Amino acid sequence: MRRTYKYRVYPNEAQKAWLAQSFGNCRWLWNHMLDVRQQAYKERGETLSGYDCDRLLTALKKDNPWLKETPISSLQQVDADLDHAFKAFFSNRRKGRVVSRRRDPKTGRPRNPYGHPRYHGKKGARESICIKQGSGSSSPTIYVDDDGRLRLPKMPGTLKVHWSRMPEGAVKRVTLSRDRCGDYFVAILCDGVEPEPQDHPKGNVGLDMGVKHMLVASGGEVVDALQALGRNWARLARLQRKLSRAQEGSNRYRKLRRRVARLHRRIANMRKDFQDKLATSIAKGYAVVSVEDLETKWWWQDGPMAKKAQEAALGQFMALLEQRCERYGSRFVRVGRTFPSTQLCSACGVKAGPKGKEGLKVRRWVCPECGTAHDRDLNAAANIDREGLRILQAALRQAA
């Protein structure tokens, strides 16, 4: 299996200059290739692929010698990312998906309705560069030397890394990034990492996720979100007010902007640490974990639910839970979002529960067929558990 290890790195001044140059090269190449693909489609009706863009790199490096300071694998990865963005755009358009509901205040039309790739600006985004392990040479191009420092192609010197644990397996690629606080990180993707199977003493479980309670298990356990944003809301509001009064471009403005960014990073780290520990305990305790495949991105655009959805971060939690289940040998089953988990009676199977927007207010109901009193979330978790086991058994029979 593959696994990613993330560490804090401390580049020197020469390495910071090289990273800034590489970040800028990748950003410039993205914007240039996006412009080339759009012009090719407008003028000739031709759709360029990632391979077509890769063939243009040789000529671009001759005309722009500063591109040679960045590893070729990083430039090729930019073309691959742009190609993937266009494929996702056309796929969403064919399926009629609206990626964003934000509307232009002048025209009233949706902004970027199908997720069309956009130009990357210098400000406001997390900067990163991906470097792949060389495959043509006999010796690795990315490795850790005897002094515990990371060696990367074309980077001056060796990179100082704070190793919380040493990576296992073969290094496939690394991603260097700089966040809004100005701190640098490296993510190392390794292949051939051995899983860590557990005993799983608790059997199987169904998880109902939502905004009122982050997680309700079929066994009766209820877990609420950490409220990391709520705990720091007053401090964040105070810093934002100070930032709004500072003159943009001044030293005070830059210091306050960095303080706001650090607080946002602290909130995100608190939330991820809580979810990581929760996902690990679930993956180690249960052999089969069934969850409902929710469409959570619309919750962020609903006014009353947006803040609670941000606190829960269910999309991030489900991704973490799936990774932990793979790591600890558990079965992770996604139940379709069209499955009526709330409406079905977990005792007799009759579809008589609350439905629609009005049904969201109903927290308890009684089955008219068997007379069983149900808690809305606990009943849904039991139905998800039963449906997940059915899906898993069908998949195992088909594989056999």
Active-site residue list:
208, 292, 377
Which tokens sit at 65?
């010698």
The count of other CB atoms within 10 Å of the CB of residue 274 is 18
CA distances from 192 to 1, 189, 195, 263 (A): 5, 10, 9, 36
Q: Which amino acid is at 27?
A: R
For 343, the 3-state DSSP assignment is: coil
Which tokens sit at 247?
């003159």
CA distances from 147 to 65, 150, 154 (A): 33, 9, 19
- Of all helices (H) and strands (E), which one includes residue 191? strand 184-191
β-pair type (331-335, 288-292): parallel
Candidates 186, 154, 190; CA nearest to 172 is 190
CA pair distance 23, 18, nearest whole angstrom: 9
CA pair distance 149, 104, nearest whole angstrom: 49
Radius of gyration of the chain (CA): 25
The count of other CB atoms within 10 Å of the CB of residue 392 is 16
- Of all helices (H) and strands (E), which one includes residue 108? none
